[in-house]
Structures are given as C-alpha cells and as structure tokens.
Homo-oligomer: A and B are copies of this chain.
Amino acid sequence: MAKGGKDWKARAEKLKQKVEKLKALLAAAPAPTPVKTKAQKPVSPLAPARFPVLPAIAGAEFSAVGTGIKYQNRKDVMLVRLAPGTAMAGAFTRSSTRSGCVRDCQAKLALKAGAEGAAIIVNSGNSNAFTGRVGEEAVAAVTGAVAAALGMPSTRVFSSSTGVIGEPLPYEKITAKVPDLVAGLDGDAIEMAAHAIMTTDTFPKGAAATLQGEGGPIHIAGIAKGSGMIAPDMATMLVYIFTDAKISAKVLQKLVSRHVEATFNSITVDSDTSTSDTLLVAATGQSPAAEVKGDVAKAFETALKGVMMNLAHQVIRDGEGATKFVEVRVTGAVSDADAHRVALSIANSPLVKTAIAGEDPNWGRIVAAIGKSGAEADRDRLSIRFGDILVAEKGWRNPDYREEDGAAYMRQPELVIHVDMGLGRAKRSVWTCDLTSRYIEINADYRS
C-alpha cells in the first residue's frame, strides 16, 4: 500500500476508536435538563380534566382585562356587575395584618344595602396588604372608579387584591382600564374571570350546581383562586360564588357562615394564612323560582355547600407542588375542636407531608403529629387507617398489617388517612396535599 494510504488507514482506525469512546461517554451522560421558562408552568397532576361548564347566572356579568401590574401578556383584573336587588354575604381572613380590601369589604357588608346592585373588582399580582394608608387610598380609588362607571354607590363595590405583600399597588393602572372592563361585561365570561384572578395557580377553578326551585331552576356558579399560603381562617384565598336565587342577605350570610368551617376552613396547603382571604357570595334574585324556603331552602343549602366544598378541594388540588390529594379524617374525638386540632396537626406536619410525597407509609409520624396536637388522646385507644387498611390500634401496630400494603396504598394519587381517637363521637375532616421539592422551588424564588 502507498505510504499515504497507510497513514490514512491508521488515522481512520484511531478515529474509529475515538468515536466509540465518545459514544460510550455520551451514553453515560445524563439527559440534558430541559430549559425552564416561566411560561412553561406545568399544570398540577391533580387538576380536574377541564374547567366545568358553568351556568349563566341571570343578573351577573363578568369581564377581564390585562393591566400589567405584575404579569405581562395576560388578564389580571376581573370585574363583576351584579343587578339591582343582589344580596351579598361573605367570610374573610381573621389575620391581624389583613389587607385594606378585606377591611373595606367587611365594613361594606355590615351596612344595610338598598337595591342598588353591586360590583366586585379583583386584581392579581399585588395584594395591597401592609401598605398602610396608601393602601386604603388605593382601595377607595379603585372602588370609587368602578362605582362612578357603573352608577352605584361605592359602598356597594367590593374589591380584592392578591399577590405580593407590602408593595404599593399601582392602582392607576386599574382605574385607567375601568371603561374597558365595563365595556366588556358579558354574562358568559365567568371562565375568563377565573383566569384573571390566578397567581401561582396552575389551573382556573370553577364549580356549579343547579336545583329545582318553586317555579323554575336555581343556579349556583363559583370561581376560586388559591395555591400557596393556604391555611384559611374564616375563608381561603379568593372565592366568588354567584346564584340567581331569591334569598335575603341575612339568610345567605347565615348559610355561608355555617358551612365555611367544614369547607374553606378545613383545607391547608402550608399552614400559612393569607392576609387577603376573601369569600363573597352574591344572590341576584333573578331566577324565575320563588324565594328560597322550606324544602328548597334545604336543597339550596346542600347545593351551596357542595359548590363551596368543590372549590375548596380544587385549591388543594392546585397546592403548590402537590402530587397527592389527602383527606385527613378524624373520628371518635371528645369534641369537634379536638377532632379539628388533630386533623390540622397531621395535615400541617412537614414530616407527614414529606413522607406522603415519598410514598412512604410512615405512620409513626402520624402518631407524633397526634401527640403534639394538644388534643385529648389515649395511646391505647387510638387506631390509624390508610383507606381501609388498619395500620395500628390499641397503642401498637396491627399484627396483620403488612408494610407492602401500606406502600401500595401510598402510591395512589388520592389518599385517606383515618385516625379514630376511640374516645368520643366527634369527627372532622381536613384536606391537604403533600410537601414536595417543587413547593420549595416555587416559593424560594417567587419574586425573582
């Protein structure tokens, strides 16, 4: 062979070896990490398949616009106009540092209302909380602008703000868009409104019910936002429920107060109570059905509670970083308060929540959470179940319990942890989610 030929052959063989070596190295290298962008926010694995079809509520119109307060290229303010005669009720955070909006709503709900109608305006991206007198001026400016545009007293305009705490709200960005908001009002735009109030939420939340009244149907439709800072105290995050029922503000308030405890006050993502938690319920009275009373009142109460519970559960399904939806069910307690205390202690325990994230049936951590709750407990009468699996009873592991059964149960996306205290007849459930690294990621760079 020619000299040149020999050289090329040797070189080719060396290169061939190099190719094999590089191929092997490449095969051993981990897959490249996908580039993270803020836009690619994955939807919670626990989200419902789709936003439900919500019935139109006669007398309630919705609109939403983008103002760029914090988020760009999305709608961030919603407006709801409610027809004259609408009855309003509500529930709010009990935080001592609650926002100006919350204080303003509370003051306005306490006033005797005429038949002027009402409005609700909500922005996301800034909570206007702990912003002092300037914050109160912002509330007055926003609700005043809406009142003027809709021709109603500002005492009938309710507002909420959600997002970062402590930053001044650039309210002129909202007031400048009030004409656009009013122009866009539409009875079928509730889903758009549900989108506009989202912050770290990965999906918009809606729920509805329809019942038969005397003389026609009564509709209920609600929307909510909430994902982190979820440990409600009289209500959770932002929830707006609309109905065409004919019902007085007084009766409506009674129903809301009665059921807020077992619904919005029984969910927790991270034990952190927001400064802005607000639930507003508006009844326009425009259903063809007669005034809610008797058997219809009972059906209405059940339907309203159902919508409240559904929305509360959706907030947990969108818990920051959640991969598991968990009911902590406590029975056999000496009092409701004790049952609630034990359920919350388990639901808020970081060690229980990380065990659930790891699909580890670490029931010892449940025992520790019961112990620290302060509720009356007797080790030898306690029992613990994962779903129907009896894990422990009489102060001791159930001898028939097999760890692999517990482990298999924990791999499901929806779990029931059932503790029976064996002491009394009181019971309460609390709903929560697991605590994952994603929660840390979301919250360690929320503002950056």
Question: Which of A's residues lie within 8 Å of B, judged by CB?
Answer: 1-2, 4-6, 8-9, 11-12, 15-16, 18-19, 22-23, 25-26, 28-30, 32-33, 93, 95-98, 127, 129-134, 164-168, 228-229, 231, 233, 270-275, 348-351, 354-355, 357-358, 360, 362-365, 367-373, 375-377, 379-380, 382, 392, 394-397, 435-437, 439-441, 443-448
A96-B377, A272-B368 are known; give 18 further A-B pairs, CB within 8 A.
Answer: A1-B2, A15-B15, A15-B19, A29-B29, A30-B32, A97-B371, A131-B397, A132-B380, A134-B396, A166-B363, A167-B397, A270-B350, A271-B349, A354-B440, A354-B443, A360-B445, A362-B446, A440-B440
**Chain B residue contacts of A380, Cβ below 8 A:** 132
**Chain B residue contacts of A437, Cβ below 8 A:** 437, 440-441
Contact B360 A95 (CB under 8 A): no
**Chain B residue contacts of A30, Cβ below 8 A:** 29-30, 32-33
**Chain B residue contacts of A447, Cβ below 8 A:** 360, 362
Would you list 21 pairs from A and B whose C-beta atoms are within 8 A, ordered by A residue? A1-B4, A2-B4, A5-B9, A8-B11, A15-B18, A15-B19, A19-B19, A22-B23, A25-B26, A93-B371, A96-B379, A97-B382, A129-B368, A165-B368, A166-B397, A229-B351, A231-B372, A275-B371, A350-B350, A358-B448, A362-B446
Name the contact of A1 in the complex, choosing from B5, B164, B367, B396 (C-beta under 8 A): B5
**Chain B residue contacts of A1, Cβ below 8 A:** 2, 4-5
Contact B372 A95 (CB under 8 A): yes
Given A132-B379, A351-B443, A440-B437 in contact, is the A367-B165 Cβ separation under 8 Å? yes
Q: A103 to nearest B CB, angstroms?
A: 10
Q: With the chains together, A240 CA to B102 CA distance in Å?
A: 50
Name the contact of A443 in the complex, choosing from B9, B98, B133, B355 (C-beta under 8 A): B355
Contact B354 A396 (CB under 8 A): no
Name the contact of A351 in the complex, choosing from B8, B166, B228, B350 (C-beta under 8 A): B228
Q: With the chains together, A371 CA to B368 CA distance in Å?
A: 27
Contact B448 A360 (CB under 8 A): yes
Q: With the chains together, A274 CA to B127 CA distance in Å?
A: 37
Contact B397 A439 (CB under 8 A): no
**Chain B residue contacts of A95, Cβ below 8 A:** 368, 371-372
Contact B443 A358 (CB under 8 A): yes
**Chain B residue contacts of A23, Cβ below 8 A:** 22
The CB with the most chain B CB atoms within 10 A, among A6, A376, A437, is that of A437
Given A371-B95, A371-B97, A372-B233 in contact, is the A439-B364 Cβ separation under 8 Å? no
Contact A133 B372 (CB under 8 A): no
Q: A348 to nearest B CB, angstroms?
A: 7
Q: With the chains together, A370 CA to B362 CA distance in Å?
A: 32
Q: With the chains together, A272 CA to B373 CA distance in Å?
A: 10
**Chain B residue contacts of A2, Cβ below 8 A:** 1-2, 4-5
**Chain B residue contacts of A15, Cβ below 8 A:** 12, 15-16, 18-19
Q: With the chains together, A396 CA to B95 CA distance in Å?
A: 17
Contact A96 B32 (CB under 8 A): no
**Chain B residue contacts of A371, Cβ below 8 A:** 93, 95-98, 273, 275
Q: With the chains together, A264 CA to B167 CA distance in Å?
A: 36
Given A30-B29, A32-B28, A440-B440 in contact, is the A165-B97 Cβ separation under 8 Å? no
Contact A166 B26 (CB under 8 A): no
Contact B351 A270 (CB under 8 A): yes
The 10 closest A-B pairs by CB, nearest first: A165-B364, A5-B5, A358-B444, A97-B371, A132-B396, A95-B371, A15-B15, A22-B22, A354-B443, A273-B372
